[in-house]
Amino acid sequence: MTRNNRGGHNGRVFLVVLVALMCLTSDPWPTGLPAAERGEVALKKSPHAKLRPVTMDEVSWTEGFWADRFRRCRTATIPAVEAGLLHPDNSEQLDVLLIAAGLKEGERKGKGTNWTDGDCYKWIEAMARQYMVTGDLELMRKMHRWIRVIAQAQSPDGYLSTNFWNDAEGRLQMPYFHEMYNMGHLLTAASVHYQATGKTTFLDIARKNADFLHQQFSPRPPRLVHFPWNPSAHMGLIDLYRATGEKKYLDLAKILVDNRGSSPGGGTHRNGGTDQTQDRVPLRAETQAVGHAVCATYFYCGATDVYAETGDGTLLEGLTRIWESVTTKRMFLTGGVGTGSGQSTRGDPVHEAFLDDYHLPNDCYCETCSNIGNAMWNWRLLNVTGDARFADVMEQVLYNSGLSPVNIDQDRFFYCNPLEWNVDRKPTHNHRTAERWLVHSCYCCPPQMGRTLSALQTWAYSIGDEGVWVNLYGGSKLDSELSGETVRLTQTTDYPWNGRVRIQVAACPKTAFSLMLRIPGWSDGATVTINNKPHPDVPDGGAYADVNRVWKPGDVVELDLPMPVRLMESHPNVVANRNRVAAMRGPVVYCVELPLNEGGQKTWRDGVYFPENIEFTPRIDENLLGGVAVLEANALTTAGKERFVRDVVATSEPIHDDREWKGVLYRPLLGRKLSRPEKGTVPVALIPYYAWANRGVAYMQVWTPLAR
């Protein structure tokens, strides 16, 4: 099957019929080597979205930063997650599916968390995305095997959550049991598998499951009003709606969004009705990001999906208010979200959660799943609106808190992603670890990494009425269509280490269209040339440059984004970062890392301070940490910084009138000229934050004390 019928509801219906015919004429469960056909199901543009994200068969990474990570995801991450899911000491285990399918003796109880199934489906989703690009038959075999098991584990009525597979009475009694988290990820993984393979084996399971959910929830019984706890089902239902065209799945997603916050109070964090699950205030009336940060970002993703299909402006208004709350008061410099445990501003106990405005301590929680949830949400908002500010946050996550969860070899994982690590202090939670691991007491994050690193190429480009939107820079090939005509582009770049991007047109429509080139919010002085001639209209950072013309094959567009090192300061109300600064270059946040086995303890104890006129020299080191740009500088020790401390002009009080800050949370520091110290200096080589903890146990800090 090919993607020739992409781009319209009729095309999608045609493909659905074609697939159905193929299934009638061939065994859907062949016992031998599965057929190798691949094909993307044509997904139309959502009617109320400005942009259509490209589909899996329209784009692939070729070389560079993301291409390397995509490849290692197949060779290292997916096998590592599989090893984790098969490991007897791991919290999540594929065994639960075998037990529920009657293929293995044993008790489901005591094996794995309630949300185990969902994390197994995320692993299958990662394989489907990789298969679409690589055609790797081993992945097809594995998916095939596990989908057969899943089919056997499904109850005749369509219910499928192994924690209650043999307990009909216990089903859908308590939101915290995560049955709908499991089923939500089932719907997404099956929709992706269908798009990647053209096979309906997994999709049939998902439809039966979604039909069960529709039957249960569409009458809106009060006893189910607080379901689900972790709302992957909203996204899953929309994914299934887009794959099948079945409107009742969209209707159910709308119901789930409307239920949230409709019956507040009286609950606990486990059964709903509180801020923990965004269930105290309806989204349409909400003014702040609250509660469990994975639940929150997943809910906001699902509600954005519903907006894209329905155009319900009250949803987008609520989502925009919440986005302002996140990005101006509750997000870390790394794009991470989820400060930790405590109380919501309305007094509900919350955990793994958004907390008060500006409460952004550096030993934060920042769970991998919530950081990536933040990126997923911003990708959706970008496609709905075409507004570059959402692309900025998406990129801020992807190069920082969205990538720190995995090591350079991509086979070990973090759950929490704090912005500092003090070896001398005992971790305050068992999810905060000094080093990454293979098995863990909660295994949601590793498959989240796998499916995201397998999907990012589809975030790189979108198609709009203007033409092609380039959202992420990375070596890649695009093969798409504009108004029914082929457009093919090749992008080459060393981004994020170098801001030069080259895009060559290989094929294009005969009529004029735009290349919409993203000028990141951090950038200043970007230039664009077309066939070596300057393009006049390049906006300031935080917008897309509209490069419109009649293109011809062979045309070359070059974008140059200067990348000076920026010394960042926080809004003064972020108490944790007062008198501290952080270095960024391009989209990458840097940290000071002092590994124990490289004498880090002595340096840590001598102190590391940045004078505000510190000068960094970027140096590409191909052999360090998979190839990175390090930032070399002379910092000050405690002894050295005393020269400066008398000259302190620091904001140390909370400010209540932040007009000067214009609603931003982080901005470049305006430094002053200071004399250079002759002693008390220490050479440092800052590394990208995402690459920390690859050299053994280490002290680490993103925000370094400032000496003035």
Phi, psi angle pair for 649, to nearest 5°: -130, 90
Angle between helices 313-329 and 368-385 (to 10 degrees): 130
CB 506 within 8 A of CB 513: no
Classify 431 as helix, strand or coil: coil
Dist. CA 455–CA 449, nearest whole Å: 10
Cβ neighbours of residue 75 closer than 8 Å, sequence gap 6 or more: none
Which CB sits closer to Zn ion, 192 or 445? 445
Residue 133 to residue 138: CA distance in whole angstroms:
13
Question: Taking the alpha carbons of 495, 498, 499, 502 in that order, is the dihedral positive or negative?
Answer: negative
Nearer to Zn ion, 384 or 445 (CB): 445
Environment class of 376 (CB within 10 Å of its CB; exposed 0-12, middle 13-18, buried 19+): buried
* Min dist. Cβ of residue 188 to Zn ion (A): 16
Using the minimum distance from each CB to Zn ion, give the nearer residue, 64 or 446.
446
Residues 321-360, one symbol each (x = binds Zn ion by CB under 5 A, - = not), give ----------------------------------------
Residue 66, token pair as written in the block:
């993301």
Spatial separation of the C-alpha atoms in residues 457 and 74, rounded to whole Å: 14
Which residue reads 């086995």 in tokens? 597
Q: What is the closest distance, in whole angstroms, from the C-beta atom of residue 335 to Zn ion in the complex? A: 16
Measured from the CB atom, the residue of 83 and 168 that comes closer to Zn ion is 83
CB of 544: closest distance to Zn ion in angstroms? 32
Residue with tokens 């607080």: 226
Q: Is 382 in contact with 390 (CB distance < 8 Å)? A: yes
Instruction: Give me the least distance between CB of 444 and Zn ion, in Å please.
Output: 3
CA 642 to chain CA centroid, nearest Å: 42
300 vs 522 by CB, closer to Zn ion: 300
Where is 614: in which H helix or E strand? none
Contact window for Zn ion (CB under 5 A) among 229-237, 365-373, 536-544, 654-662:
365-373
Are the beta carbons of 449 and 414 closer than 8 angstroms? no
381 binds Zn ion (CB under 5 A): no
Shortest gap between Cβ of 260 and Zn ion (angstroms)? 21
Piece in contact with Zn ion (CB under 5 A), picked from 285-293, 336-344, 361-369, 598-606? 361-369
- Residue 214: which residues within 8 A CB-CB, separation 6 or more? 248, 249, 251, 252
Q: Does 369 bind Zn ion (CB under 5 A)?
A: yes
User: Looking only at residues 298 through 317 of this chain, which bind Zn ion when binding is defined by CB under 5 A?
Assistant: none
Of 293 and 306, the one with the shorter C-beta distance to Zn ion is 293
Could you tell me how many residues of this chain bind Zn ion (CB under 5 A)?
Answer: 3
Closest chain position to Zn ion (CB): 369
> To which residue do tokens 């969205």 refer?
402
Residue 691, amino acid: A
**Alpha carbon distance 583, 323 (integer Å):** 25
- Interface pattern 388-427 for Zn ion (x via CB under 5 A): ----------------------------------------
Residue pair 299/234 in contact (Cβ under 8 Å)? The answer is yes
CB of 289 to Zn ion, least distance (A): 18
Binding mask 144-183 for Zn ion (x = CB under 5 A): ----------------------------------------
Could you tell me the smallest distance in angstroms from the CB atom of residue 503 to Zn ion?
Answer: 35
To which residue do tokens 């990348």 refer? 563
For Zn ion, which is the closer residue by CB, 77 or 493? 77
Nearest distance in Å: CB 265, Zn ion: 28
Instruction: Print burial letters for 49-82: b (CB count within 10 Å at least 16), e (below 16).
Output: bbbbbbbbbbbbbeebbbbbbbbbbbebbbebbb
CB burial of residue 474 (10 Å; 0-12, 13-18, 19+): buried
Least Å from the CB of residue 634 to Zn ion: 39
x-marked contacts with Zn ion along 600-639 as a string, rule CB under 5 A: ----------------------------------------
Residue tagged 């094959």 (tokens) = 553
Stretch touching Zn ion by CB under 5 A, among 57-65, 206-214, 364-372, 652-660: 364-372
**CA 50, CA 649: separation in Å to the nearest integer?**
47
Q: How far apart are CA 99 and CA 79, in angstroms?
A: 22
Closer residue to Zn ion (CB): 369 or 472: 369
Residue 360 is which amino acid? L
Nearer to Zn ion, 449 or 631 (CB): 449
Which part of the chain contacts Zn ion (CB under 5 A), choosing from 247-255, 362-370, 387-395, 564-572? 362-370
Task: Work out how close the CB of 405 gets to Zn ion at its nearest, in angstroms, rounded to a whole number.
Answer: 9
Q: What angle do helix axes 247-259 and 232-244 make, rounded to 10 degrees? A: 160
Using a 10 angstrom Cβ sphere, with 0-12 exposed, 13-18 middle and 19 or more buried, the burial of residue 1 is middle
Name the residue nearer to Zn ion (CB basis): 444 or 594.
Answer: 444
Site for Zn ion in 57-96 (CB under 5 A): none
Nearer to Zn ion, 446 or 475 (CB): 446
- Choose between 194 and 413: whose C-beta lies nearer to Zn ion: 413
Piece of the chain touching Zn ion by CB under 5 A; list 153-161, 368-376, 476-484, 520-528: 368-376
254 to 293: interface string for Zn ion, x by CB under 5 A: ----------------------------------------
Query: Which H/E stretch holds residue 28?
Result: none
- Give min distance, CB of 338 to Zn ion, in A: 10
Decide if residue 376 touches Zn ion (CB under 5 A): no
What's the min distance (Å) between Cβ of 575 and Zn ion? 27
Distance between CA atoms of residues 263 and 260, nearest Å: 8
Please answer whether residues 148 and 29 qualify as being in contact, where contact means their C-beta atoms are separated by less than 8 angstroms.
yes
The residue (of 241 and 300) whose beta carbon lies closer to Zn ion is 300
Let me know: does 160 contact 150? Beta carbons within 8 Å.
yes
- CB 368, min distance to Zn ion, A: 5
Query: Which stretch in 154-162, 296-304, 369-377, 700-708 sits in contact with Zn ion by CB under 5 A?
Result: 369-377
Nearer to Zn ion, 364 or 445 (CB): 445
Shortest reach from residue 232's CB to Zn ion, in Å: 12
By C-beta, is 296 or 584 nearer to Zn ion? 296
CB of 443 to Zn ion, least distance (A): 8
Q: Is the dihedral of CA 324, 330, 334, 336 positive or negative?
A: negative
Site mask, Zn ion, residues 212-251, x = CB under 5 A?
A: ----------------------------------------
CA nearest neighbour of 446 among 431, 459, 434, 457: 431
Residue 590 CB, nearest distance to Zn ion (Å)?
25
Which 422-451 positions form the footprint of Zn ion (CB under 5 A)?
444-445
Closest CA to 473 of 445, 515, 414: 515
Whole-number Å distance between alpha carbons of 58 and 460:
11
| Residue 598 beta carbon to Zn ion: minimum distance, rounded to whole angstroms | 30
Q: Which is nearer to Zn ion, 143 or 416 (CB)?
A: 416
Q: Which one, 133 or 366, has the nearer CB to Zn ion?
A: 366
The residues of the shown chain that bind Zn ion, judged by CB under 5 A, are: 369, 444-445
